[in-house]
């Protein structure tokens, strides 16, 4: 098995760079006229970039046979969860002053917040079951079924972004195309595997 320690180190460091830059710019008051909104949007964008990246690992692994890529799915997935938590905490903490009733009021007024919350809620069980122990405890079949929530989180993230964008929807649509292709690959792959299984059974 290929030694991926250095490559994983590079991914872990690069995953932390956007947050480090955001903190550095915040420290130097370089986040513009609305620093809280800038920080919310930056962490939201990082979540939406990291989610499809983590979903990209399996298709690439299947197409190339690069099994050594597998651990990167977990690293990227946990980073997506981390940035989603930062994103929500910045909103709930700095924008809504940890005021639960006010936040609920905002969610009623801005439905895209509800869609974003569905995405975040889907990521929580995935992060909690990302350890080897959890896979053993759940069994790989149930674990894989649970981790299909990653697709729901990705779709919710794209819809959340599309709903909040006022004018130019090109970026949300680009993310929608990427997520659709990633889901499409999985559906085609599942259909193929089923057909192969059935033809094996009928040949037996």
Footprint of ligand HEM (CB under 6 A): 37, 40-41, 44-45, 47-48, 84, 87-88, 91, 113, 116-117, 119-120, 153, 156-157, 160-161, 164
What tokens were used for 17?
Answer: 């760079």
Shortest distance, position 65 Cβ to ligand HEM, whole Å: 30
Closer to ligand HEM by CB, 4 or 37: give it: 37
Q: Give 110-139 as a 3 state SS string.
A: CHHHHHHHHHHHHHHHHHHCCCHHHHHHHC
Shortest distance, position 37 Cβ to ligand HEM, whole Å: 5
Kindly give, in sequence order, each residue whose CB lies less than 8 Å from that of residue 38, ignoring residues fewer than 6 positions away.
Answer: 31, 32
Rounded Cα distance between 40 and 27, Å, is 16
What tokens were used for 12?
Answer: 């872990």
User: Running DSSP on this structure, what letter comes out for residue 31?
Assistant: S
Shortest distance, position 109 Cβ to ligand HEM, whole Å: 11
Shortest distance, position 161 Cβ to ligand HEM, whole Å: 4
Closer to ligand HEM by CB, 16 or 108: give it: 108
Closer to ligand HEM by CB, 102 or 197: give it: 102
Shortest distance, position 45 Cβ to ligand HEM, whole Å: 5
Distances (CA, A) of 12 to 6, 76, 169: 10, 8, 31
Closer to ligand HEM by CB, 93 or 139: give it: 93
Determine whether 46 is exposed, middle or buried from the number of CB atoms within 10 Å of its CB (0-12, 13-18, 19+): buried
Coil/strand/helix, residue 167: coil
Closer to ligand HEM by CB, 7 or 176: give it: 176
């Amino acid at each position: 098995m290929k030694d991926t320690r250095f490559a994983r180190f590079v991914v872990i460091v690069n995953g932390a760079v956007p947050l480090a830059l955001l903190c550095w710019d915040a420290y130097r008051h370089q986040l513009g006229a609305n620093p809280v909104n800038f920080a919310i949007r930056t962490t939201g964008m990082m979540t939406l970039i990291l989610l499809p990246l983590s979903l990209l690992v399996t298709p690439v692994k299947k197409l190339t046979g690069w099994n050594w890529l597998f651990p990167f799915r977990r690293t990227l997935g946990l980073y997506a969860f981390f940035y989603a938590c930062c994103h929500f905490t910045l909103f709930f903490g700095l924008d809504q002053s940890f005021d639960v009733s006010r936040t609920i009021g905002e969610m009623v007024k801005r439905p895209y917040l509800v869609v974003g919350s569905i995405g975040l809620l889907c990521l929580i069980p995935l992060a909690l079951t990302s350890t080897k122990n959890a896979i053993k405890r759940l069994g790989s079949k149930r674990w894989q079924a649970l981790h299909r929530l990653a697709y729901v989180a990705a779709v919710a993230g794209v819809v959340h972004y599309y709903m909040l964008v006022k004018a130019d929807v090109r970026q949300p649509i680009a993310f929608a195309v990427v997520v659709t292709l990633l889901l499409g690959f999985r559906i085609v792959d599942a259909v193929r595997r089923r057909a192969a299984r059935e033809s094996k059974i009928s040949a037996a």
